[in-house]
A and B are shown apart, each in its own frame.
Chain A
Amino acid sequence: MAYSVLIVEDEQAISRVLDLKLKQLGVATMLASDGVSALELIKSQTFDCILLDLILPGIDGFNILEEIRKKDKNMKVIVMTNLGQPEDRARVQKLGVTGYFVKSETPVTRLIEEVKNALET
């Protein structure tokens, strides 16, 4: 059975790359480009892993993560953001995440590897 991954990212040029890369791995993907639609998908479906951006239109990534944790404490969430400050990391890590990546500093292959690891463990 194929793994399913939700990509929460408002920048289409970025989410498209992730989508392509994950599909190449045979992973089923869903895309959400804003906080509200992301929450709707999370409530209605189950995913093996969520790739989450923090700055989003509407509801931001921090709130989405809080909502996810209310529902499921073990959901694998990998945060990919351009907020790289320690306080942002600390805030996210308090809520529990599988990984935290600053997008501009991370090659996409590195991120995909991380998703693969998360899915396989």
Chain B
Amino acid sequence: MKNNNDLKIKKTVIKSGMFRVFTALIFSFTVIIYIIVFVIWYLKYNANLDTIYTEGFTNVLILFILILFVFGWIFLYGVYMGVVRPSYETFNIIFQIVSGLSVDEYSSDQSQLKYLQDFMNSTLKQLENASLMRKIDISTDTEIYIKKLKHLTEQNKSLLESKKNLSQLVDRLEKQQKLLELEKAKTSAIIDAIPNGLVASSRDGNIFLVNQESERLLGVNADNLLGKFIYQVLPSTTEDELDIKSSNNKIRNTRVFDYESPDSKNKISIENTANPIVLNGEVVGVVDVLRDKTQEHSTERAQKEFVSIASHQLRTPITSIKWNAELVLSNPNLDKDVRAAVDDIYKSNDRMEKLVNALLNLSRIDLGKIKFVKQEINLDKYITSLIKSLDNDIIRKNITIEKDIKFDKPIINDPVYIDIIVGNVLSNAVKYTANNGKIKLKVSNCQSKDCILLEISDNGLGIPKSQQSHIFGRLFRADNAKNTDTDGNGLGLYVVKKLIESMKGNVWFESQENKGTTFFLEIPIVLDDTNVI
């Protein structure tokens, strides 16, 4: 390897402009010295050329040096032309004798420049001195060489400067790259440390970032996630994702769905919170935060199922108490106190039954188990029977009921759930209306939608303004309602709202404390039971 390298260095030196200049200068020196010597001799020996060769040792020495120069030049020229090929070591020695520099030193940029500058300066000085002292014109060729040499030196200098700048630039870029890599490593360490899955996608749904947890949850490698469409990876998020993007909705959107990985190994329940990425007020993408809800979900489900099963089980003893109390009460010869006691048992049992029913409905809503069974419902007939079922209280409180039904066609809906919805609102109206009060029931066509509008107004307690926003909340009861009726469970209106919304209907109210309340129920004429809860 060393030989190859040596050859390379040697070749570089020979082919360099400097070597050529060097050779040329040696030639020029030879010629100039020859001329000088010739002039001295001519003057000394009065042009007697016969005596030139006979003048002792000095002349012979001058002649010898002259010949040495000639041979030196011939040798260098030979080397340059490639006719003479000295070994690296020989070349190095000769080069060192002539230039004072080793081949290695010369070939390095700095020494080359330094040498060129020094050489040029000394040559120029010598030439200038020579021309001044001897009044000899420097040949045009030499001038051109010197100019070229100057030019080359300048060029070399600016090249070296550029090289220096470039290497500084490269250094800076390398440092920046290292910083960027560090930042990247930090960011990926942070997102990988998050215990939730992260999938970021652009506005058009292209995934551009995922973390380790998302790979684990989805059972798919990052390579197979990046660049894919979010809808392909999380198909069930399509609607929400589209919703976020199309409506520029900046609100977080959470949903739970069952997921199965492509290899069917991961079957889990995932909670996905879609967070929009907002830039200058525009949604430019979405970060989906995924959480494994399997365990939590099954515990929650078990709890809800327990409520459902327990509610069913509770109905049996409730029936038993109800019917046996009825049996006792049907005896006309019952002692007055015993009758009152059994009557209390009966009423308490009824309350318990209502609570169980509310719990059961609630657990079905929570479990997403609502299934509608459609049937024709004649509203007039239905409302009449509903009022009749509340007759006990209506008569006891001497409440006047007004019916105004301006819709004579039957509706296609689920009578069981319609009964829960309308029954809850109407029994509330009866419950919270004072003796001799008045309740109005009005049915009309909705203005815009294919639905009926049922208005139930009373002149009862009303809902305090400060509590109106909570009225549909789970287990919420207004203060004045709590004072009037201690039996309520705070589930009725929550269930009403949930059920009517799952029917794609609507419920709202207007109320003034101590003046009364009107509930508005928008119920679809034909129930669309696809995609219920």
User: A residues touching B (Cβ–Cβ < 8 Å)?
Assistant: 11, 13-14, 17-18, 20-21, 55, 82-87, 89-90, 102-105, 107-109
User: Which residues of B sit under 8 angstroms from A13, Cβ to Cβ?
Assistant: 320, 323-324
Q: Give Cα distance in the complex from A111 to B414, angstroms.
A: 23
B29 is an interface residue with CB less than 8 A from chain A: no
In the complex formed, the residue of B with least CB distance to A91 is B373
Cβ A17 vs Cβ B373 within 8 A: no
**4 further A-B pairs in the complex, CB-CB below 8 A; given A17-B323, A82-B319:** A17-B324, A87-B373, A103-B323, A107-B326
Give Cα A109 to B328, complex, Å.
12
Chain B binding surface, main DSSP class = helix
Scoring B residues 308 to 340 as 1 if CB is less than 8 Å from chain A, else 0, what string do you get? Answer: 000010011011101110110010000000000
Closest B residue to A111 by beta carbon equals: B323
Q: Which residues of B have CB within 8 Å of A83? A: 312
Instruction: Give chain A residues whose Cβ lies under 8 Å from the Cβ of B442.
Output: none
B138 at the interface (CB under 8 A from A): no
Q: What residue of chain B has the Cβ atom nearest to residue A24's Cβ?
A: B330
Q: Which residues of A contact B373 (CB under 8 A)?
A: 86-87, 89-90
User: Which of A11, A84, A104, A109 touches B416 (beta carbons < 8 Å)?
Assistant: A84
Q: Could you name 28 residue pairs across A and B whose Cβ atoms are closer than 8 Å? A: A13-B320, A13-B324, A14-B323, A17-B324, A17-B326, A17-B327, A20-B327, A82-B316, A82-B319, A84-B357, A84-B416, A85-B364, A85-B416, A86-B371, A86-B372, A86-B373, A86-B414, A86-B416, A86-B417, A87-B371, A89-B416, A90-B373, A103-B319, A103-B323, A104-B316, A108-B322, A108-B323, A108-B326
| A108 partner residues in chain B, CB cutoff 8 A | 322-323, 326-327
Closest residue of A by beta carbon distance from B369: A85
Q: Give residues 360-392 of B contacting A (CB, 8 Å).
A: 360, 364, 371-373
Min distance, Cβ A16 to any Cβ of chain B, angstroms: 8
B322 to chain A: which residues have CB within 8 Å? 104, 107-108
Please classify how large the interface on chain B is, using the bins under 10, 10 to 19, 20 to 34, 35 or more.
20 to 34
Bound: A84/B318 CA distance, A:
14
Nearest-CB distance from B482 to chain A (Å)?
Answer: 26
Least Cβ–Cβ distance between B156 and chain A, in angstroms: 94
Q: Which of A21, A102, A103 contacts B327 (CB 8 A)?
A: A21
Closest to B364 in A: A85
Q: Is B495 an interface residue (CB 8 A)?
A: no
Given A86-B371, A103-B319, A104-B315 in contact, is the A109-B326 Cβ separation under 8 Å? yes
Binding site for A on B (CB under 8 A): 312, 315-316, 318-320, 322-324, 326-327, 330, 353, 356-357, 360, 364, 371-373, 414, 416-417
Is the pair A104, B319 in contact by a Cβ cutoff of 8 Å?
A: yes
- B316 contact from A11, A20, A105, A107, Cβ within 8 A: A11
Shortest Cβ-Cβ A-B pairs, 4 listed:
A82-B315, A86-B373, A13-B320, A103-B319
Q: What is the bound-complex CA distance between A105 and B174, given in angstroms? A: 81
Q: Residues of B contacting A104 with CB < 8 Å? A: 315-316, 318-319, 322, 353, 356-357
CA distance A105 to B351 in the complex (A): 11
**Nearest Cβ on chain B to A29's Cβ, whole angstroms:** 15
Closest B residue to A110 by beta carbon equals B326
Q: How far is the CA of A55 from the CA of B326 in the complex (A)?
A: 23
Residues of B within 8 A of A11 (CB): 316, 319-320
Residues of B close to A102: CB separation below 8 A: 315
Chain A residues closer than 8 Å to B414, beta-carbon distance:
86
CB distance from B331 to the nearest CB of A (A): 11
The residues of B that contact A87 with a CB separation of less than 8 Å are: 371, 373
Q: Is the CB of B371 within 8 A of A14?
A: no
On chain A, the residues within 8 Å of B371 by CB distance are: 85-87
Report the nearest B residue to A53, measured CB to CB: B316
Chain B min CB distance to A82 (Å): 4
Contacts of A21 in B (CB 8 A): 327
How far, in angstroms, from A14 to B322 measured CA to CA in the complex? 9
Interface centre among A14, A90, A102, A104 (most CB of B within 10 A): A104
Residue of B316, B323, B327, B364 ringed by the most chain A CB atoms within 10 A: B323
Inter-chain contacts of B356 with A (CB < 8 A)? 104
CA distance A17 to B320 in the complex (A): 9
Q: Within the complex, what minimum Cβ distance (angstroms) separates A1 from chain B?
A: 26
Report the nearest A residue to B312, measured CB to CB.
Answer: A82
What is the minimal beta-carbon distance from A114 to any residue of chain B, in angstroms? 14
**Chain A's nearest CB lies how many Å from the CB of B166?**
79
A55 neighbours in B (Cβ, 8 Å): 312
Complex CA gap A26/B417 in Å reads 38
